[in-house]
Chains A and B, each alone.
Chain A
Amino acid sequence: MLARLRKPWPDVRAERMLGAVSCLLAVLVVGMVVFVAIHAWPTFSHNGLGWLGSGETPETSFEKMQATSVNPPPSAYHLRAWPLLYGTLLTTVVSVACAFVVSLFASIFIVELAPERLRRLTIPVIRLLASVPSVVYGLLGVLVLVPFVGNHLVTASEKASVANTIELTGAGLLVTVVILTVMIAPIMIALTCEALASVPSSWREGAIALGLNPLRAILAVTVRAARPAIVAAAVLASARALGEAIMISMVSGGRAFKPNLDHGLLIFLYSPLRTFASTIVDFREGISAPALGSSLYAIALLMLLGGFVLSVCGYLIKLPLRKYQVRG
């Protein structure tokens, strides 16, 4: 029998085997979505659309859930996750916006303005920033940035003014957004550089010939032509920002609070918050309580759907690129 396995296989069998192995992957992915959805169903069925509304703080709901262990009554599933959704959207949107600006100008620098030696230096730099593990970023945040903000930037009067609602320890929106920007910028820079580099330089030279100065020509022609690819890069980066769990759990203050511009810009920046991903990390020990476990799986399902929607958007945005034969 072993001898038969060792002889070269007929092509048809080989193709079927390899195809079966590949299908296994598809089955795994479908299985992932199905498993998560099955575990998430109870909390959605008990809360309905109100799951995304506001009401009781999520932490209070989670702690009530942990108190009911086996066979929890329907009331145990109560959850109003709007503060978590708000925190997720806030961090993602703000950090992608900051990273977009930084990445665009950094890419223009790398592709068009940098002297050759400096440009050769930036490739390893970007690779380095992209490959630093998120727990190392989180460690930097929690041991350096959070004490810095908490002890040197937050003033006593600011602390006192919100003392009845939250505590400003330095861990909050500001540090989260700063580190998240540094984490997602390399992805955006790499994609944007590639997009800018693939715009034919004759287009830009034509603009210069017509009298534009070089930087204006870059902005008006190259960047404009690569716009879909740049937007697709932003979409990919926001999928990364959405899924970041460990770093945010370490620096965001761990409190499902909705940062409010009414308190003033500074306090808005210092406010603690919680995102979907950091909630899963923070409450992972209680996952054995059915109600809490179902809520965490529901959060995971939403993250899966969000990531999927972003991928589809990115794909749709890149479709027009083929028209201009600009590599994306």
Chain B
Amino acid sequence: MSAHAGFIVAAYGVTAVVLVALVLWVVIDGRAQRRRLADLEARGITRRSAQKPTTGKTGA
């Protein structure tokens, strides 16, 4: 390896750390959001668009 091996190793090392951190960020955040949604749905809370209409014309 060259006299500048330290610079090459440091450049690839920093890149690896940042890219792994990005991957971990999206994976951990994705799990957290999925868990939040599952907890809310388990409590019977649904999105407005998924709710059945409870008011409106009844044909009476």
The answer to whether A and B assemble together is no
